[in-house]
Every structure is written in structure tokens, then in C-alpha cells.
Amino acid sequence: MIPWQEYDTLLRQKLSPKRYEHSIAVMERAVELAKRYGVDVDKARLAGLLHDIMKNEDKINLLQFIGNSDILLSVAEKNGPPLWHAIGGFLYARDVLKIEDADVLNAIRYHTTGRANMSPLEQVVYLADLTSSDRDYLDVEETRKRSEQSLHIGMLYSINFLICDLVKRGNMLHQDTVDCYNELIAQELNKNGKKTER
Ligand SMILES: [Fe+2]
Ligand SMILES: [Fe+2]
């Protein structure tokens, strides 16, 4: 049994009101997308609710928390503080909340970078985070539309947008994001019968 009430209380303690509202909105959107794509609704609800659980954590504490774990940060991660909360969230869910479901844990861990071979649940949570009702960035309507066409179309559009934005702002690309993009493009090329080699 999932202790929803305890999780709700925990989120209210750990997150700002705005981040709490975002978590609820992502949970709702994850459920919506899970139903659309035949993904386990309870897992989507849980991963959506908890995905940002470490978002408001003090950066030094967060780094220490990760440093005490079995995860070694890559160069891009060391230089990308916005990525820490996803790794920290994964660790918190695994080690503190004792969540054992690997798919739920991975959906939390990869919700900012994406990665190659994302499971349908990981994609649902990734897209729910970008298209929840509280989101109001310039491109959100288009991203919502694409996320409702297929998981592949939604992911391709979102990762493309993310990479362009990171490059434009002079930020590093995480290897998992590049791998995610390459895998989506390879699927496109194979679908269209084009060769991937140059
Ligand atoms: Fe996040
Ligand atoms: Fe989020």
C-alpha cells in the first residue's frame, strides 16, 4: 500500500507552496498520459508526485547527500546544479522512502536529462513535467499537443527543444540527453527507411 497521506505531508514539508502545486499538477498530468498510453497509472502517479522531492533542498546539503551515496557525478552533473535534484530525488525515494520499483525510481532520476531507451513510464513522467497545467513557458501548447500524439513525438520534440535551448545558453549537454536524442533520431531514420551511417 502506498502511504499517499504521508507522502503528501512530506511534500508539503520539503517543498515551497509553488513547487508543491507543481508536483500535484505533474502527478495529474502523468496519470492522464499514463491512461492515454497504457502505462501503469499508480506508478505514474507516484513518480509524478515525487519527481521534484529534492528540488528545494539546500544545494550544499544536496551535494553532500549525493556524495554519501553510490553515485559518482559526471563532469556535466558537477557543472549542472539543476540536475542534482533528480539524482537526489532518486536517492531519497530509494534510500529514505524505500521505494523498490526500478521503473518509478528511474522515472524520477531521468526526469531532467532523459536517457536512451527510456521506458514508457519514464517518458510519461518526463513529458508530464513539461506539460503540466501549471507550466506557462512560450512553447508549452505545442509541447502539450505533441505529447498527446505519441510518446515518441512528444519526446523528440521536447529533447530537441531542450538541446537547442541548452546550446543557445552556453550550457553543457548531459551525455544521457545526447544519447536520448540520438536514439529518438535513429528510430526516426529507421522508420523512414533511411540509413543512419554517413
Ligand atoms: Fe525537476
Ligand atoms: Fe518538475
* 146 Cα: distance to centroid of ligand 2 (angstroms): 19
How distant, in Å, are the alpha carbons of 93, 147, 150, 174 from that of 127?
Answer: 20, 7, 11, 18
**Below-70 pLDDT ranges, the chain:** 194-198
* 45 Cα: distance to centroid of ligand 2 (angstroms): 13
| pLDDT number for residue 195 | 57
Cell of 52: 521534484
Give the chain's domains with CATH numbers.
Answer: 4-191 (1.10.3210.10)
* 187 Cα: distance to centroid of ligand 2 (angstroms): 27
| pLDDT number for residue 182 | 98
Ion ligand 2 nearby residues (CB, 5 A): 52, 129
Residues contacting 142, CB < 8 A, separation 6+: 157
Q: What are phi and psi of 15, to 5 degrees?
A: -115, 155
Alpha-carbon span 69 to 7, nearest angstrom: 22
| pLDDT number for residue 31 | 98
How distant, in Å, are the alpha carbons of 5, 55, 87, 139, 186 from that of 109?
Answer: 23, 12, 5, 24, 24
* 27 Cα: distance to centroid of ligand 2 (angstroms): 10
| pLDDT number for residue 191 | 85
pLDDT tens digit sequence for 55-79: 999 999 999 999 999 999 999 899 8
* 41 Cα: distance to centroid of ligand 1 (angstroms): 20
* 157 Cα: distance to centroid of ligand 2 (angstroms): 18
pLDDT tens digit sequence for 136-163: 998 999 999 999 999 999 999 999 999 9
* 196 Cα: distance to centroid of ligand 1 (angstroms): 32
